[in-house]
Structure 1
Amino acid sequence: MRKQLYFWAALVWSGIITFFCLVQLNNVPLGNVSNLDKLVHAFFHFVLTTLCFLFLKSRSFNLNNRKPLLFSFLFSVFFGIAIEVAQGLLTETRQADVFDVIANMSGATLSVLLCWLFSLNTKFK
């Protein structure tokens, strides 16, 4: 049951990321926070990486967290790169940005570090 919850949560979250990264947001007031879009990218990929890890870990009987962590990180990074490519190719109002990819990687990295630290202190089941 938990496996399915993590799977669907990761799938829905991927859809949310895709939607918000490809839709036109020019008229949305974002306040006066410097680099808010980079924080949003990092948050999106922090959550995505965490959900992917929880799904993969719930499927694994092995106590080793390296493979689920690595796969979750790589999936998040390559998904983020694919979204940036799609922005450049499929939209007229959005553009690909290497700094968005760096923000995505930062969120994914933070997730991996926290999942790893948390798994050192607990038994993921």
Structure 2
Amino acid sequence: MFWIALLWTGVVLFLCLVQSDKIPAVNIENLDKVVHAFFHFVFTSLWILFFKTQIKDPDSYKPYIISFLFSVLFGVTIEILQGQYTTTRKEDALDVLANMVGASLAVFSVILYFKNRRLSKI
């Protein structure tokens, strides 16, 4: 799971820092916010699954907290890098908010998945 999470992290990093003039333009309002939320939903989900293998306590919320904070920090870092090191992108606080929405949805979705899975075994 580590390598899948790391690969997705690299994909997100690349897609968020590549010059935007190299990405095909799609004129759907706020599509970029949906993409940011999706990126961080998958990012956070994969890191939760990885950290759950490292933290053996099935009732621990540490994997969720660590993954959420990692996602937020990663997203903020990308926004800063976009503002500092790219010429076709800019920092956007709404992108950070979209990242947090995606990360939050991931945390709640994975929690629900494991709770339902545990209940179905009873």
Is TM (by shorter chain) over 0.5? yes
CA distance in 1, matches of 2:105, 2:86: 29
Amino acid at match of 2:86: T
Matched, 1:95 2:90: yes
CA distance in 1, matches of 2:52, 2:23: 37
CA distance in 2, matches of 1:31, 1:90: 24
**SS of equivalent to 1:93:** coil
Task: Provide the identity percentage.
Answer: 50
Matched, 1:25 2:20: yes
Q: Is the contact between residue 45 and residue 105 of structure 1 (CA under 8 Å) also seen in structure 2?
A: yes
Corresponding position of 1:116: 111
The residue correspondences of 1:80-91 to structure 2 (distance < 5 A) are 80-91=75-86
Corresponding position of 2:10: 15
Structure 2 unaligned residues grouped into runs of 5+:
none
The CA deviation at 1:29 is 3.2
Residues 27/56 of structure 1: CA separation in 2 closer, same or farther (3 Å cut): closer
Amino acid at match of 1:73: F
CA distance in 2, matches of 1:44, 1:107: 7
Matched, 1:37 2:25: no
The CA deviation at 1:21 is 0.7
CA distance in 1, matches of 2:72, 2:65: 11
**Count of residues in Structure 1 that have an aligned counterpart in Structure 2:** 118
TM-score by length of 2: 0.91
Structure 1 unaligned residues grouped into runs of 5+:
1-5
The runs of 4+ residues in structure 1 deviating greater than 3 Å are 27-30
CA RMSD of aligned residues (A): 1.2
Corresponding position of 2:71: 76
Q: Deviations over 1:49-107 (max 9, x none)?
A: 00000000012221124110010100001000000000011111111100000000000
